Copies of this chain bind each other. A is one copy, B any other.
Amino acid sequence: MDKFLITGCSGFVGRHFLDYLEDNRIKCEILGIDLDPMVPHRNFRYVNMRSECVDLLDQNDIERIIFDFQPRYILHLASFSSVAFSWKNPTISFKNNVNIFLNLLEVIRKYGLNTRILSIGSSEEYGNVAPEETPLTEMSPLRPLSPYAVARVAQEMLSKLYADSFGIDIVITRSFNHIGPGQRDVFVVASFIRRILEAKLSGEGMMTMKTGDLQIVRDFLDVRDVVKAYYLLLKKGHKGEVYNICSGIPTQLSEIIDMTAKIVDLKVDTVVAPEFVRPNDNPYILGDNSKLKRDTGWEKSFALETSIRDIIDYWKNVLTENNG
A307 within 8 A of partner (CB): no
In the complex, per-residue mask of A87-116: 1 if CB is within 8 Å of any chain B CB, else 0: 100110011001100110110000000000
| A–B complex contacts, Cβ < 8 Å, 7 sampled | A90-B106, A90-B158, A94-B102, A94-B158, A145-B161, A150-B154, A150-B157
**Nearest B residue to A144 by beta-carbon distance?**
B157
**Nearest B residue to A154 by beta-carbon distance?**
B154
Q: Which residues of B contact A102 (CB under 8 A)?
A: 90-91, 94
Q: Which residue of B91, B106, B161 is within 8 Å of A91 (Cβ)?
A: B106
- A242 → chain B closest CB, angstroms: 14
> Are B95 and A99 neighbours in the complex by a CB distance under 8 Å?
yes
> Are B161 and A150 neighbours in the complex by a CB distance under 8 Å?
yes
Interface residues of A in 230-248 (CB under 8 A from B): none
> Are A154 and B91 neighbours in the complex by a CB distance under 8 Å?
no
Interface residues of A in 137-180 (CB under 8 A from B): 144-147, 150, 153-154, 157-158, 161, 165
- Known contacts A94-B99, A99-B99; can you find 15 more A-B pairs with CB under 8 A? A59-B91, A90-B105, A91-B102, A91-B103, A94-B98, A94-B102, A94-B158, A98-B154, A144-B161, A145-B165, A147-B158, A147-B161, A150-B158, A153-B154, A154-B154
**Nearest B residue to A279 by beta-carbon distance?**
B165
Q: How far is the CA of A157 from the CA of B165 in the complex (A)?
A: 23
Q: How far is the CA of A99 from the CA of B97 in the complex (A)?
A: 12
Most buried by B among A91, A146, A153: A91
Q: Which residues of B contact A154 (CB under 8 A)?
A: 98, 150, 153-154, 157
Q: Which residues of B contact A161 (CB under 8 A)?
A: 144-147, 150
Q: How far is the CA of A158 from the CA of B94 in the complex (A)?
A: 10
> Are B146 and A157 neighbours in the complex by a CB distance under 8 Å?
no
Q: Which residues of B contact A146 (CB under 8 A)?
A: 161, 165
Q: Which residues of B contact A103 (CB under 8 A)?
A: 91
Q: Which residues of B contact A105 (CB under 8 A)?
A: 90
- A163 → chain B closest CB, angstroms: 12
